[in-house]
Structure 1
Amino acid sequence: MSRAASLAALAAVLLAGSAVSETPMSNPPQEPQVGLPTPPHAPEQVAEADPYIWLEEVEGERAMAWVREQNAASLGRLQGDPLYDRLHADALALVESRDRIPTPGFRRVEGVERIDNFWQDANSVRGVWRTTTPESYATAEPAWETVLDLDALAASEDANWVWRGANCLEPQGRRCLVELSDGGKDASTLREFDRVSRAFVEGGFVLPESKGDATWIDQDTLLITRDFGEGSLTASGYPRILKRLARGQSLDQAQTIFEARPDDVFVSAFTLRDPDGTLRATLISRAMTFYTREYFVLQADGSTRRLELPQKASITGLLGDRLILTTDEDFTSGSGQSFQTGDLFSVDLDAWLADSAAPMQLILRPGPRESIEGVQITRNRLIVALYENVRGGVYVYQPTADGWTRERMDLPENVSVGLGSASELDDRVFVSINGYLTPSTLYLADASTLQAQAVKSLPAKFDAEGMEVRQFEARSADGTMVPYFVVGRSDMPMDGSNPTLLYGYGGFQVSMLPGYSATVGKLWLERGGVYVVANTRGGGEFGPRWHQAALQANRQRAHEDFQAVALDLIRRGITSQPHLGIMGGSQGGLFMGAMLTQRPDLINAAVIQVPLFDMLRYHRLLAGASWIAEYGNPDIPEERAWIQAYSPYQNLRAGQPYPEVFIHTSTKDDRVHPGHARKAAARLQELGYPVLFYENTDGGHAAGANLRETARRLALEYTYLSDRLMPED
């Protein structure tokens, strides 16, 4: 995957929650900060000054009593609305629908190619890991075989298991590490599973609940990062120690291979294998910040050697003998070649491991309004999803003796494209095509011929007759033109009367790309609402520089971009303050808080999902320290000053035109601390503002451990929005 895509995935692993608002966001793991400058206020003094610090005690008796009281009031109000039952029924039917496209994943199991899928519906609320043949998958009714039933497993073990995936050992693909989360937390348990016998391996590898991961070296050896006890975690609660675990060993017998520094973010390991599963190299990634890292190669004698790469480079994968990389900073290679921010390039793996001055080759240099949103590797080809002005195309690259050739794949244009799983046996790859009003179509493409065949299409989930998608630009405070999409009826009146929902995220180089959302369509657009997505700085829509323009001291630029879109919507007559609402989750929740405290005069509703809110304490709560590279460090006086200037919690004031807001979070969110949302609601109520607050006691950062909880959250959100923005409904 590309640097932007890998950051999005990491952000989702670290900050964002993909189930919230159907747009992911997340953050990287990190370690305890040591040697930090003396803070302007000691943590104890900050705590004493905050009357709601007790709400940070996640499952404290007093805090949970407050949560129950808030939930009772908010659920009573929203679920008592006559509209709620209709919206809930629609949401439940959508999320439990069986006519969704089952996401395919190529797998090899003992030399036979399979298509795997994880599926949830009304009968499989927690989900089922299942498999079929490629030929069967291409039919209208694939013959699925169950590999593991999560509902049955949870019932038999009296556990609230949430699926986190399976990591199988290549090339046989029989032994897998199944990752299970209790209630949706990031911390998970890993258990060895035999997918041929379809049973957990008796006496096999079992890693207890922790944040961290595991990488197969061979059938009897893992490289693992876990909570190994005192001193083994970073400030944000992620592992900093990498160990080798042999079959039959206990965790305390595992051999330490590598230790990151306590002021790093996290450490992880991964392998590079050829298409036949042969191990070519084992690499270790030491993340010093969310955006900087060093790579080390694990040598045969167990020692490690640092590789010569810029700190903002990212390893994408291996194509034949060529290592594929991207960079988010300009640099000069060991061979004297110059590369620029956003470049995609390659180097011969063996030659480079032997000599850091081995020559590198440029593959792609995106233009100023382009971004690489996905990279996939088949047996013989490199495939890139390249976006121009937030519209995607797929290009196929092939190495030659003189460089790389490039051809465009035969797919629809002016749409969103997403690269899915790729075969290692040949050059097939799944590609999804969709748009705001265009239901997803899944293609099976052959990169060697550039041809693609549609294999699955999603039926329309809402009535889009008479609707259209328009793209506009708004001028931000510093003159930067910020694109945004407007989805609604083509004949909407331009008199400011349209109920409008403006969505934003604005961080971690995560791009807000056009996509088909059945729930937005059915619960909002079909009922006369307008949906708007802002492509602000802080995201990755125009590559790394678009993101870096709103980092740390420049964070306010992203907030001004979002405000500029709201102002432009009002200026064009698309909506007006009584009919404009905003929505965002995690980093997007911070976005909503900044809009609330800086320009409450523009909005009449705000859905603030699993948010960051107290930015002076974010780095001391759960995974927060891992985001210092994005926001800055509140313990450094200069940085604290510009964080405090926009931190929503510190900027809540009496006598402002704040609308009634809807804030929700999850007790089991072990990424963004639920204390942020709780304290925001408590402070607003203290100042005399009406607040709706809901806390799901399960669900993790995605705010939904199963489909029924997800449907309830959606119905609550759109009941609230309807009440605020289309009260005549």
Structure 2
Amino acid sequence: MVAREFRMIQRRDLLLWSLTAGVSSTWGQANPDPNAWLETLESPEALGWVNGQNADALALIAKDPDFARRRRETLAALSSSSNIQFVSRQGEHLYNFFRSARRPHGMWRRTTLEEYAREQPSWQTLLNVDDLAREEARNLVYEGANVDAGSQRALVYFSSGGEDKLELREFDLKQRGFVADGFKAPTAKQSISWFGPDELLIARATPDSQTTSGYAMVLRRWKRGTDLLAAPEVLRCAPGDVQVWGWARRGEQLPPAALLHRRIRFFENERFLLQADGPARQVDLPLDCNAWLDGEWLMVGLRNPWTTAGRTYPEGSLLTIPLAQALEAKREIHLLFEGAGRRRLVRTERVKSGFVVAASDNLRPQLVFHRRTAEGFRATPLPAPEFGVLNINADQPDKSNRFWMTTQAPISPQLYALVDAEAPAAPVLAKSAPHAFDASALAVQQFEARAPDGTPVPYTVVAPKNRTGPVPAVLYGYGGFGLTVDLEYQRMAGINWLQYGGALVLAHIRGGGEFGQAWTNAAKGPLRQVGFDDFIAVAQDAVTRGITTPKQLGIYGASNGGALVTAVLVQRPELFGAVVSRVPLTDMLGFTRLFAGPSWIEEYGDPARPADRAVLAKWSPYQNATKADGGKTYPPTLFIGNRNDDRVHPAHARKMVAQMRSLGHGSTWLYEETSGGHSGRSDPNIYALREALIYSFMRLQLAKPGA
């Protein structure tokens, strides 16, 4: 049956369903979902419908005269030989992965520090993934490598098209080839770590051993030359948990040690210390903290206050405990970073004489060197930029106090430097990224909107500095899982939007992690509407300040951000002129049935529990959309899904498009990518097409005459 016939059947079924659309409390067996057939990922019926939608979306986007230019310039920027080639140190080598339009699968390579300091360093290619993909006739995507410098071996991870499932192969760095009889693990959702040169920690999700979230339920110690399935278990979680996994510590010439995690909920873990001899033993830590091993230290990041040994450490703090004392009742605990107000920890890196801590205070970067002393640690501030984002990575933590530092801001490209904490003013070397767009006519400003509950909500605006009135603007937000909307260099928006005279607005709403755990918790679970209200407040404030107008304001979000913009589209459509929702969640009463959905219950709530369901039913976009003739006309909306996404099911986007069209919102489109996974960044060609699609759509809708 052809796609057109299926669309006719779909319209008929949706017409019957639309009589009860929006009555989310009755969603279930008494009111079956007529779009459930779109959840069957690659059925002929679903694919026929999707292909028709893709053709319609591309035909629309082709009307933008600058679409081809956007795509071409984006691809050129992604592939430019002038881009900084970021590296990671393992032993005496610096490792890098490089991909371009001509080499979309990429090359894994390495060089020396002396060579890397040159303007045009030479590289030793270890693995040409383009050649490998051709040889195996697969869309093979490199997903990283874990190098054991001592044994000159590496664990190399691949995916099919960028999905979350990985396969493992062991690689010989000397021979520059895969080890014929080495460690191999076929594709699965799995975590794998070295535990000495001849042993791995591996947790694999298989049909007979996976949680309801689709992740691994059993962690094993797998010795070289033995059968994986016969490898002894070291930790098992319950089917209703999220997953189990383990990761060994960093540090040269140290005996194997790993911190194992039984992940009960998304942010709750029991931790167990596994050493070379003996069973795994549970470590007394808060369930909701972050914890990892680094050298001879147990690192603990607090999401909430923790009282131990007569002292209370505030939320957002970073602690370190000598690993030798991790299992003892009395432990030496050092406070490296104290959470307070709008301060948050960005990253910490161990160096030879202590730790370097990168933080943010009200979106302003901070950097501190904590030197180990006989009494504990002595803090010394290090130079940091006044604005933007700062990140760090240790160079050789067992041998020096050097670390790699990256700085950037919305219209300032990345600077990459190797810095010594003992002499930070004189970098060992520095590299700068090229300007991807002309920012000379742009200015960055920060404002605060006022949420309905009175909370000030910060947002950042990048716009023409000499504008004389409102301009088309794209408002971006996320607001979930404690993740931040950082003030990074806006390369994609700059190429595709800012250089055409538009404005970009970055909303730092609650639910995100910009200002610590309290900011995150304020819009979590049953409080989700708080984040939506914050986003709406930012939109209204941008209009009030004359930055843009409702007809000129587009909103964009991806993943949880896709849920955000789709929810506010349904709630306040009059505030926006266009919407792009990428790899979104939309069916919040059915999300736990799809892919990794059960793992997000802690973030959103459980639709199987009546109290949670009642809250979700109030904002779930799929169930709350209303007819176009009911007084709410939705602005033009583009949904972008990915068929290769095994994290957020593409049915969320598919079904929302089908539902909105059935309700009379004809200006609704779907474009479904076929590769790239959830992030969609595994191939520069796919990535460039996607970015051009987003901003060409925005231009077509927001730059109309009279807008």
Normalised to the residue count of structure 1, the TM-score between the two structures is 0.90
Residue 289 of structure 1: which of 265, 268, 287 is its match? 265
Paired residue for 2:142?
163
Match of 2:235 in 1: 258
> 1:712 — aligned with what?
689
Matched, 1:687 2:663: yes
Quote the Cα distance in structure 2 between the aligned partners of 1:166 and 1:118: 10
Structure 2: how far apart are the matches of 1:576 and 1:40?
Answer: 35
Residue equivalent to 2:77: 94
Residue of structure 1 in register with 2:349 after alignment: 376
Residue 327 of structure 1: aligned partner: 302
- Cα shift at 1:357: 2.2
For residue 332 of structure 1, give the secondary structure of its aligned residue in structure 2: strand
**Per-residue Cα deviation, 1:255-295 (whole angstroms, up to 9, x for no partner):** 22211111211111112243x23125222111111111110
- Corresponding position of 1:103: 86
Does the Cα contact within 8 Å between 1:417 and 1:431 map onto a contact in 2? yes
Equivalence for 1:141: 120
Q: Is 2:350–2:394's contact at 8 Å kept on the other side of the alignment?
A: no
Residues in 1 aligned to 2:426 and 2:554: alpha-carbon distance in whole angstroms:
40
442, 446, 450: which one aligns with 2:420: 446
Indicate the residue corresponding to 1:186 in structure 2.
164
- Is residue 388–residue 410 contact of structure 2 (8 Å, CA) maintained in 1? no
Q: Which amino acid aligns with 2:106?
A: G
Larger RCO: 1 or 2 (CA < 8 Å, sep 6+): 1
Q: Which of 229, 239, 254 lines up with 2:207 in the alignment? A: 229
Alignment size in residue pairs = 677
Letter in 1 for 2:447: F
The offset of 1:421, in angstroms, is 4.4
Contact 2:315 2:339 in 1 (8 A): no
Q: Secondary structure in 2 aligned to 1:49? A: coil
- CA distance 1:336–1:163, change in 2 (3 Å): same
1:520 equivalent in structure 2 = 493
Matches within 5 A, 1:102-121: 102-108=85-91, 113-121=92-100
Whether 1:470 and 2:470 are equivalent positions in the alignment is: no
Counterpart secondary structure, 2:195: strand
**Does the CA-based 8 Å contact 1:307-1:356 persist in structure 2?**
no
Alpha-carbon contact 2:201-2:219 (below 8 Å) kept? yes
Report the 3-state secondary structure (helix = DSSP H, G, I; strand = E; otherwise coil) of the residue aligned with 2:358. strand
Aligned counterpart, 2:19: none
Partners in 1 of 2:581 and 2:376 — Cα distance? 48
Q: 2:317 aligns with which of 343, 348, 369?
A: 343
Matches within 5 A, 1:523-562: 523-562=496-535
Name the CA distance, whole Å, in 1 between partners of 2:638 and 2:241.
36
What letter is aligned with 1:329? N
Percent sequence identity is: 37
TM-score by length of 2: 0.93
Deviation of residue 227 (structure 1)?
A: 2.4
Of residues 650, 656, 671 in structure 1, which corresponds to 2:647? 671
Structure 2: how far apart are the matches of 1:513 and 1:252?
Answer: 43
Local SS of the residue matching 1:634: coil
C-alpha distance in 1 between matches for 2:112 and 2:276: 38
Task: Name 2:285's counterpart in structure 1.
Answer: 309
Query: How far does residue 446 in structure 1 lie from its aligned partner after superposition?
Result: 0.5
Larger displacement relative to structure 2 (85-94 or 559-568): 85-94
**Structure 2 residue 36 is the aligned partner of structure 1 residue 53:** yes
Matches within 5 A, 1:26-37: none
SS of 2:143's equivalent in the other structure is strand
Please show how residues 488-507 of structure 1 align to structure 2 within 5 Å.
488-493=463-468, 495=469, 497-507=470-480
Among 620, 634, 656, the alignment partner of 1:658 is 634
Aligned match of 2:678: 701
Q: Distance in 1 between matches of 2:44 and 2:99?
A: 34
Q: Distance in 1 between matches of 2:548 and 2:87?
A: 40
Offset at residue 196 of structure 1 (A): 1.5
Does the 8 Å contact 1:665/1:703 carry over to 2?
A: no
Q: Aligned residue for 2:457?
A: 482
Q: 1:367 to 1:83 in 2, by over 3 A?
A: same
Q: Please tell me whether the aligned partners of residues 188 and 211 of structure 1 are also in contact (alpha carbons under 8 angstroms).
A: yes
Structure 2 CA distance for partners of 1:407 and 1:228, relative to 1, 3 Å: same
Alignment-mate amino acid for residue 153 of structure 2 = R
Tell me which of 142, 150, 153 is aligned to 2:129: 150
The answer for the alignment partner of 1:392 in structure 2 is 365
Structure 1 Cα separation of the partners of residues 70 and 206 of structure 2: 46
Q: Residues 40, 608 of structure 1: CA spacing in aligned structure 2 closer, same or farther, 3 A cutoff?
A: closer
Distance 1:691 1:534 in 2: 24
Amino acid of the structure 2 residue aligned with 1:69: G
- The amino acid of 2:671's aligned partner reads Y
For residue 700 of structure 1, give the secondary structure of its aligned residue in structure 2.
coil
Hey, what's the Cα distance between the residues in 2 that align with 1:705 and 1:473?
Answer: 36
Please report how far the alpha carbon of residue 412 of structure 1 lies from its aligned counterpart in structure 2 after TM superposition.
3.0
Is the deviation greater in 57-66 or in 578-587?
Answer: 57-66
Question: How far does residue 301 in structure 1 lie from its aligned partner after superposition?
Answer: 5.2
Taking the aligned partners of 1:301 and 1:135, their CA distance within structure 2 comes to 40
Q: Distance in 1 between matches of 2:198 and 2:298?
A: 27
What whole-Å deviation, never above 9, does each CA across 1:584-633 have from its counterpart, x for those lacking one? 10000001111101111100111100001101111111011111111111
**How far did residue 123 of structure 1 move?**
2.7
Among 331, 346, 364, which residue is 1:358 paired with? 331
- Displacement after TM superposition at 1:719 (Å): 1.0
- 1:622 maps to amino acid: F
Deviation at 1:500, TM superposition (A): 0.3
Q: Which consecutive segments of 4 or more residues in structure 1 shift more than 3 A?
A: 39-43, 299-302
- The 3 A distance-change label for structure 1 pair 649 and 72 is same
For 2:384 and 2:332, how far apart are their aligned partners in 1? 34
| Deviation of 1:401 (Å) | 2.5
CA distance in 1, matches of 2:26, 2:406: 51
Measured in 1, the distance between the counterparts of 2:332 and 2:442 equals: 52
Structure 1 residues 273 and 103: CA distance shift in structure 2, 3 A: closer
Q: Offset of 1:448 from its aligned partner?
A: 2.5
Aligned partner of 2:16 in structure 1 is none
Query: Quick one: which amino acid aligns to residue 456 of structure 1?
Result: K
CA contact (8 A) 2:265 2:599 kept: yes
CA distance in 1, matches of 2:354, 2:102: 40
Conserved 8 A contact 1:257-1:302: no
Give me the whole-angstrom Cα distance separating, in 2, the residues matched to 1:703 and 1:677.
15
CA–CA separation in structure 2 for the residues paired with 1:372 and 1:631: 24
Q: Which amino acid aligns with 1:76?
A: A
Tell me how far 1:469 sits from its aligned partner. 0.4
CA distance in 2, matches of 1:484, 1:138: 38
2:574 is equivalent to residue 601 of structure 1: yes
Query: In structure 2, what residue type is equivalent to 1:720?
Result: F
Give the corresponding residue for 1:267.
244
Partners of 1:92 and 1:290 in 2: CA distance: 36
Question: Which digits, 9 at most, give the CA deviation of each residue in 1:495-526, with x for residues without a partner?
Answer: 4x310000000011111111112221121111
Q: 2:46 aligns with which of 42, 63, 71?
A: 63
Q: 1:40 & 1:599 partners in 2: Cα distance?
A: 21
Specify every segment of 5 or more residues in structure 1 that has no aligned partner in the other structure, as ranges. 1-38
The Cα shift of 1:460 comes to: 1.2
Letter in 1 for 2:171: F
Is the contact made by 1:381 and 1:447 (CA closer than 8 Å) also made in structure 2?
A: no
Distance in 1 separating the partners of 2:341 and 2:433: 34
Stretch of structure 1 that moved more, 371-380 or 176-185: 371-380
User: 1:381 Cα deviation (Å)?
Assistant: 2.4
- Conservation of the 8 A alpha-carbon contact between 2:259 and 2:293: no
Q: Could you tell me how far apart the structure 1 residues matched to 2:391 and 2:614 are? A: 40
Q: Which moved more, 1:241-250 or 1:616-625?
A: 241-250
